[in-house]
Every structure is written in structure tokens, then in C-alpha cells.
């Protein structure tokens, strides 16, 4: 019995040795690939036919190869960072969409609770010029182009996930093409108008000592009675913060990154355009959120604010209550009210 057990164990060991030998012959041990990708591919075809791993490894390495086409990166077939860019766009755009929705919800809640900011005193009929014609033209040019870019940008970012299921492929394809072309051709107009606006309005948006009390009390905007508004200059501290963050920071960032994306013939690399795309998307959502607050306060949020930019003039009571320091400066320059010819009806006096 003992000899039979020994014989049986020896047979099992011999079978195991033969199996390992056959497996080793069929699948050779892994060895470092030769430096020559072509040689590595030839060797791989012998052991593993139809496995093109060495070729694709070389292609995805980003190492420059030979090409007869002139230009930067024309000798790089696949840029692996592109996959990182595609993966990063989804969470960034989703976060931006939620922040935009929260901003709109916050504006609605604030308006429901606070209501519009009204003028407490009765109108005097004396109109003070707040903005010149050239300032209003530049402002409306920037405003219209920015709103166009914002709306078309939202279609480009969220159209596939939000609009496509609602309106279908045919209508969405037309809308997407329209949005893309409007975005591309409106961008250069915005790029030319915004620097002019910055130069025009930069002086009145420099911070002064009296802006700090406005910041500490949030301009009295949280007082529902409207009787505790903090005095300010021609632009209050809130408007100045919007100017520097929305107009200067976000606006100039959008211009630079937009030009990089709009004109690939600047000879920039693919990685530069991918980074510019992400920065452009973040700056765009940041600017849209701030612009939503600006549009709210410039229309339904504050009575009389829209007339200031629409017609260029505000009532004396409006100026005294909302921008007391600026009103005092105007009165110091025009002690006799410097009245212009009154319009026909109703009779109102304008202070230039």
C-alpha cells in the first residue's frame, strides 16, 4: 500500500512539472520591450498575434514622430491629456449649473422677502444727468453682447442634457448651430467693447474710505423699511465689487480664453486650448452669476435704476437717497441746479 501511494504522488508531481513546462513554452516570461517599437511589434506578433500594444503605446506617448505636415503638434497623432479634459468638463459644468440655479433661487427669495428698493421721498421733478450718451452706448453694447454670449454659452454647455430630451434632435440641432455661430461671432464684438467700458468707468469704481461702512452694513439693503441706506458715491461699494470681479476679472479672462478658442490659427497647442476651454467655462459661469445680480438690481430690484441707464437722468430725490455723496458733489458743482430747458410735459428740470 505504501509503495502504491509513493507511485501515485510521483505521477502527480510529474504531471505538474509537464504542465508548467508546456505553459512556459506557450507564454514566454515578460521582458522589457525593445527601444525600437517596430521590433517590439514584430516580436509581439509572434507570441500574441493581432496585439498592437507596442504601436499604440508609442502613439499615446505623445513623443513627436515624423510628418510632412508643417505646424505645431502635427507630428503627434494622439494627445492623452485630451481624455483628462473631456472627463473634467462634466463635473465642472454640472457644478456651475447648480451654482447658477442656486443664484437664481436666491434672487427670487430675496425679492420675495425684500421687494424692490423704493425712493422714500417724493420726486422733485429735477433730473440729474447720471450717464452720458457715450457711456450708455458702450454699456448697452457690452450688456447685449454679454447676454447673447451667456445664453448661447448655456445652450452649448447644458443643451444636450437639458434641452435635447425636451425638444428633440431636429430642433436642438438647429438651436445648437445657431448658438455656436452667435457665440463665435459675438465674442469679438464683446472683446472690442469691454476694454472701452473699463476705461470709461474705472475712475468712479475706485474704492474710497466711505465704501467700508457700506460694506459693513451691506448698504442697508437688508432693511425692509428702506430708511437706513448707507451714503455712497456715484457707484456704491457693491457696484464697485461687481465692476472689478465681473467686468474686469471675468470679462478680461473670457476675452483672452475666448480668442484662444475662436482662432486656433494662433498656432497654440491642443493642451493650451483645453486649458483655455476649462478656464473659459469657469469664468463664464462666474460672470453669468454676477451678471444675474447686476441685472436684478438694475431692473426690478431698485426702482429708477433702469431709467438711469436707459435715459441717462435720475430724479434729484433718487440721487440724494441712493448716492448721497455723489449728489453732494453734483450740487457743489451746480449750486443753482444748472437747469436745462424743461421738456414739454410733464415739466421736469435737468441738471447736466
Domain CATH number, residue 343: 1.20.950.20
Highest mean pLDDT among 33-37, 214-218, 247-251, 327-331: 247-251
DSSP class per residue in 242-301: HIIIIIIIIHHHHHHHHHHHH-GGG---HHHHHHHHHHHHHHHHHHHHHHHHHHHHHTTS
Q: Is 224 within the bounds of a domain?
A: yes
**Span 126-175, pLDDT tens digits:** 899 999 999 999 999 999 999 999 999 999 999 988 999 999 999 999 99
Q: Is the dihedral of CA 145, 147, 148, 150 positive or negative?
A: positive
Q: How high does pLDDT run on average in the chain?
A: 83
What separation in angstroms does the CA of 91 have from each of 94, 101, 157, 246, 274? 5, 15, 12, 23, 15
**Span 81-94, pLDDT tens digits:** 788 888 888 899 99
Check whether 16 has a pLDDT greater than 50.
Answer: no
Could you give the angle at which helices 251-262 and 164-201 cross, rounded to 10 degrees? 120
Which pLDDT belongs to residue 28? 44
Which pLDDT belongs to residue 59? 65
CA-based end-to-end distance of the chain: 122
For residues 23-30, average pLDDT: 43
Q: Is 36 within the bounds of a domain?
A: no
Q: Is 195 within the bounds of a domain?
A: no
Q: Is 253 within the bounds of a domain?
A: yes
Kindly report the number of other CB atoms within 10 A of residue 131's CB atom.
20
Q: Is the dihedral of CA 292, 205, 339, 132 positive or negative?
A: negative
Domain residue limits at 312: 86-131+202-351
Which pLDDT belongs to residue 68? 64
Q: Is 244 within the bounds of a domain?
A: yes
Check whether 258 has a pLDDT greater than 60.
Answer: yes
Q: Is 338 within the bounds of a domain?
A: yes
Number of domains in the chain: 1
Check whether 244 has a pLDDT greater than 50.
Answer: yes
Q: Is 52 within the bounds of a domain?
A: no
Q: Is 301 within the bounds of a domain?
A: yes
Residues 6+ apart with CB under 8 A from 68: none
pTM of the model: 0.77
Report how far residue 126's alpha carbon sits from residue 314's, in angstroms, rounded to the nearest whole number: 8
Which pLDDT belongs to residue 154? 95
Check whether 75 has a pLDDT greater than 80.
Answer: no
Check whether 242 has a pLDDT greater than 90.
Answer: yes
Amino acid at each position: 500500500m505504501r509503495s502504491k501511494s509513493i507511485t501515485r504522488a510521483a505521477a502527480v508531481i510529474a504531471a505538474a512539472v509537464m504542465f508548467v513546462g508546456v505553459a512556459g513554452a506557450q507564454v514566454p516570461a515578460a521582458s522589457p520591450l525593445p527601444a525600437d517599437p517596430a521590433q517590439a511589434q514584430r516580436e509581439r506578433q509572434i507570441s500574441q498575434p493581432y496585439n498592437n500594444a507596442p504601436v499604440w503605446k508609442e502613439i499615446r506617448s505623445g513623443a513627436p514622430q515624423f510628418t510632412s505636415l508643417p505646424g505645431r503638434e502635427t507630428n503627434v497623432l494622439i494627445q492623452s491629456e485630451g481624455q483628462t479634459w473631456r472627463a473634467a468638463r462634466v463635473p465642472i459644468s454640472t457644478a456651475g449649473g447648480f451654482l447658477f440655479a442656486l443664484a437664481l433661487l436666491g434672487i427670487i427669495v430675496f425679492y420675495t422677502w425684500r421687494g424692490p428698493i423704493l425712493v422714500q421721498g417724493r420726486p422733485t421733478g429735477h433730473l440729474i444727468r447720471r450717464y452720458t450718451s457715450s457711456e450708455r452706448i458702450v454699456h448697452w453694447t457690452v450688456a447685449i453682447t454679454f447676454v447673447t454670449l451667456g445664453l448661447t454659452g448655456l445652450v452649448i454647455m447644458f443643451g444636450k442634457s437639458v434641452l435635447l430630451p425636451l425638444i428633440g434632435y431636429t430642433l436642438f440641432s438647429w438651436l445648437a448651430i445657431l448658438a455656436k455661430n452667435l457665440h463665435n461671432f459675438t465674442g469679438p464684438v464683446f472683446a472690442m467693447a469691454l476694454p472701452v467700458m473699463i476705461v470709461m468707468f474705472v475712475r468712479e469704481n475706485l474704492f474710497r474710505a466711505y465704501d467700508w461702512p457700506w460694506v459693513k452694513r451691506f448698504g442697508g439693503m437688508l432693511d425692509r423699511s428702506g430708511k437706513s441706506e448707507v451714503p455712497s458715491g456715484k457707484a456704491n461699494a457693491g457696484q464697485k465689487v461687481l465692476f472689478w470681479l465681473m467686468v474686469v476679472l471675468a470679462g478680461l479672462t473670457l476675452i483672452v480664453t475666448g480668442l484662444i478658442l475662436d482662432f486656433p490659427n494662433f498656432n497654440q497647442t491642443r493642451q493650451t486650448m483645453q486649458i483655455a476651454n476649462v478656464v473659459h467655462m469657469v469664468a463664464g459661469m462666474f460672470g453669468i452669476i454676477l451678471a444675474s445680480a447686476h441685472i436684478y438690481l438694475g431692473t426690478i430690484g431698485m426702482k429708477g435704476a433702469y431709467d438711469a441707464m436707459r435715459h441717462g437722468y435720475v430724479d434729484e430725490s433718487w440721487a440724494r437717497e441712493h448716492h448721497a455723496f455723489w449728489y453732494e458733489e453734483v450740487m457743489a458743482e451746480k449750486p443753482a441746479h444748472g437747469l436745462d430747458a424743461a421738456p414739454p410735459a410733464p415739466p421736469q428740470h435737468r441738471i447736466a
